[in-house]
Amino acid sequence: MTFRFTPLPIPGLVLIEPTVVEDPRGWFVETYKMSEFARAGIALPFVQDNHSRSGRGVLRGLHYQKRAHAQGKLIWIVAGDVFDVAVDIRRSSPTFGTWVSTTLSASNRRILYVPPGFAHGFYVLSDSADVCYKATAEYAPDFERGIAWNDPKLGITWPGVAPVISPRDADLPHLRDADNDF
């Protein structure tokens, strides 16, 4: 099997399209293969897998973990469709505060790699969505941080007008005020 790795406009972000093998029984796809990812420059080890289910209009994010436990994420959708966003929070980066979005879905089977130094979030476009991701560091609650999804300086054009947000996410600071050691 092979993957097509497409760098996105912000260095480090990569959109991955796996080869899908279909026959009358259904289909098969590899979502990760260490040797091929390493050849494409994605060589950090993945140490934790996560799976979330959210309903239509749910917005999760924008989340990251501080440097000591920074996570790279490999994200794909098992069911449904999401508008997925990554924001560059590396202060020394020429693209600091810039964001990229893409639609990830069970039907397009795209995978997004978000390296450490980015905040990540998504908005559910379908009735529900199952989002899976591998992480390069284990979840560390003491190092978990986030940025307001509606920070006007970021200017993210989310598809929904009144997203369903957790109380914690509704209280996140703007990027300029975030506890960010990148």
Catalytic residue among 69, 120, 133, 139: 133
Altogether, the residues listed in the chain come to a count of 182
Please tell me the distance from the alpha carbon of residue 57 to that of residue 147, in angstroms, as a whole number: 19
Closest CA to 178 of 64, 11, 13, 10: 64
Angle value at C-alpha 15, between 13 and 47, nearest 5 degrees: 70
* Cβ count near 15 (within 10 Å): 17
Query: Among 51, 63, 120, 123, which one carries the catalytic annotation?
Result: 63
User: Is 63 one of the catalytic residues?
Assistant: yes
| 55, two tokens | 């309903």
User: Dihedral of CA 42/45/49/55: which sign?
Assistant: negative
Measured from the Cβ of residue 120, the count of other Cβ atoms closer than 10 Å reads 20
Residues 22, 30, 72, 10, Cα dihedral to 10°: -50
Residues with catalytic function:
63, 133
